[in-house]
Chains A and B, each alone.
Chain A
């Protein structure tokens, strides 16, 4: 929530580690020379994006704290803009994540209409350079990563769109890349002013490509 969206993934991880230490919850540690808390965030959230559906696996010692206790204690010990909504047993593997859904509010410098958005999504090919893990860049067609889009709201100066994008370990695109390209098409809308919010994450169900939401 709020300004916490500017916290990087690694900083968020450390923020959780310290919240857990403050809470005194019985977290498990990894083995080895430099033990650390057993904790994995399912899908890193890009800097500048808010979310209501982040999943993190944290391993606690069996039977020492209930789900409700964990939720309460974490919330007491996290900064105000980061909240735990729900706790439960691990039900999906992070590797099963395939899509994510975003709500984006575009803000115009004056009145805006929606035609340019339709035109943009009608494109077959928009190529951008994507950084690879090997620190090189390769061209990708971002349109191939867009699974669905819809205009869901409109006011005089804002347009709200819903966007479903490929996400996860195999194919991933950051929403700000798509919004950046979209806003290049309209000089009255700045990508920096857009509010991007992740609202759903979808998993592969039992190996097939059906969409299962992590959070209802």
Chain B
């Protein structure tokens, strides 16, 4: 019904191919009253959303069901949003150009706090009431999942329910429950009561939160029997026997990760203390080489992609990496398919591995020591030694790589000036290690090291969740100091000075009172906060002020252990007690071994599978 007007809009916008759908392998089903419809919404542009593995899994999985239609929805870029609003077109799905409001379920994925404004904006563009309490039987159920769902209290008044953990099973259970509810004459509330009993489902309206005068939480309690005290996340126990999409959609336009992404395992054995992903995805569970090679072969056939990447949190920790790469090279080299290996760790990067990668494609190397001194690396449990980095750089230089990128964070707990300056010194040592190689063994004449720093954002479900964030102005001073200290012209230093890190912290650790701030900010025009051309700090501060909320309360305070945290509703498996112990060890500069070296009894073993039982 909107297609003609929509088409006219496309002639006036940048990159119209984002909005057309109909890509190879996209799924188009006939709409009829019997079908359940699920709008899978990614709160960013097409190019970002289409690069997301989780969406590929759930889209194809839901469409495998004969009773369900799953269609994709992305945030329109500003130019398209304006055109659509001018023509009176609501937000539409990509497959059948249906208004999002006409779907039964509207599901968002929460990858990053700075996409919250886009979620609210997408509800606005869809004409769906912002607040769960204002929705009626005519409206869809609005839900979300993804890593931020574990601490998404700022969206508590906006979302009808949250899904915690891996979605392959629980989404099917919810659709089954929906089918029963739809054919009954029960209320919306009764549906939510039914699914609140499913493990992994959090219905925020079933919990009452009381606050103290000092803004801390006084109590956080379920208000009915169907709602559990704590919602335990879902995991897939056997990753070889779960749905893996192979007929992946092949986009027309260039997207961020335009390739086959092979997921080797979930979880990470490392336990870096700043890294939320390292805790929330525990325990580590691997796929078998046979399964992965089979999936890779089918994906290549079904997509025609010319590139494949191995994607997991720390890919080189896959126990059978060499056999896997050998097998994959057998099926990719002849077909001219590039194999790329991201997120390599310095400590187990070896010559052998590099030579294997080189066979296909030689690109720059990136390492993330994260901190400039061994002391601070011990604090954050990033078990990378300086010798390791220099040894690997040496191997890399001899192998013909002349450009190395190093990633660090500023504002880590216990950080001193010495740690900050250590970043520049470490980069300098990498440069020197190049010149220590005898001239006849060097490949290439010169060397360059790019140093990038980001500002540390303490996240829930890490040992640093109780830590205050460094003030942005302090971190800017540290960055400036580091910049001044770097003299070599062979070192390029980039840093992203930004107030976004502050807002990210506020929404990462915020409570449900932030929902109104979010709605105010969106009504003022905030959106795409992760994009520097849109982020408007002053507007955000005005939105906080209008709602009488001090954002610094959430970011700059050391939280005592006995305080109720806004994310205490979620049980990720890893215990709070373990996180406390890890924080204490951090202060003592004590490291914790990886899950494969020694179990540290974090609590994730309760799921009964994975590395804990190997």
Contacts and interface: CB of A to CB of B under 8 A. Distances in A.
B321 interface: no
B24 A18 contact: yes
Contacts of A20: 304
Given A11-B253, A192-B12, A21 B22 contact: no
A190 B4 CA distance: 13
A81 interface: yes
A4 B22 contact: yes
Contacts of A80: 22
Given A18-B305, A22-B303, A6 B17 contact: yes
Interface of A: 2-4, 6-8, 11-12, 15, 17-22, 29, 35, 47-48, 77-81, 190-193
Given A3-B20, A22-B24, 16 more contacts: A6-B10, A6-B17, A7-B253, A8-B17, A12-B252, A15-B24, A17-B306, A18-B250, A18-B304, A21-B335, A22-B304, A35-B336, A79-B23, A79-B252, A81-B22, A191-B11
Nearest to B11: A192
A29 B334 CA distance: 12
3 tightest A-B contacts by CB? A18-B304, A21-B304, A3-B20
A162 to B, nearest CB: 21
B304 A19 contact: yes
- Most chain A CB neighbours (cut-off 10 Å) among B21, B252, B301: B252
A11 B8 contact: no
Contacts of B302: 22
Contacts, number: 70
A33 to B, nearest CB: 11
B333 to A, nearest CB: 13
Nearest to A195: B7
A150 B304 CA distance: 44
A11 B252 contact: yes
8 contacts: A3-B20, A6-B19, A15-B24, A18-B305, A21-B300, A29-B336, A47-B16, A192-B12
A180 B302 CA distance: 41
By size class, the interface of chain B is: 20 to 34
Contact of A17 (B11, B22, B23, B304): B304
Contacts of A18: 24, 250, 303-306
Nearest to A192: B11
B298 to A, nearest CB: 12
Question: Among A15, A17, A190, which residue has the most Cβ atoms of chain B within 10 A?
Answer: A15
Contacts of B301: 22
Contacts of B79: none
Contacts of A190: 8
Nearest to A22: B304
B169 interface: no
A79 B336 CA distance: 23
A29 to B, nearest CB: 7
B563 interface: no
B254 A11 contact: yes
Interface string B1-43: 0000001101110001101111110000000000000000000
Contacts of B252: 4, 7, 11-12, 15, 79
A35 B333 CA distance: 13
A6 B14 CA distance: 10
Contact of A19 (B22, B24, B254): B24
A154 to B, nearest CB: 20
Contacts of B250: 15, 18
A6 to B, nearest CB: 4
B371 to A, nearest CB: 38
B82 to A, nearest CB: 14
A126 B318 CA distance: 66
A66 B500 CA distance: 58
A79 B8 contact: no
A77 B254 contact: no
Contacts of B24: 15, 18-19, 22, 77-79
A77 B304 contact: yes
A48 B13 CA distance: 11
B261 to A, nearest CB: 16
A63 B576 CA distance: 68
B8 A193 contact: yes
Contacts of A79: 22-24, 252
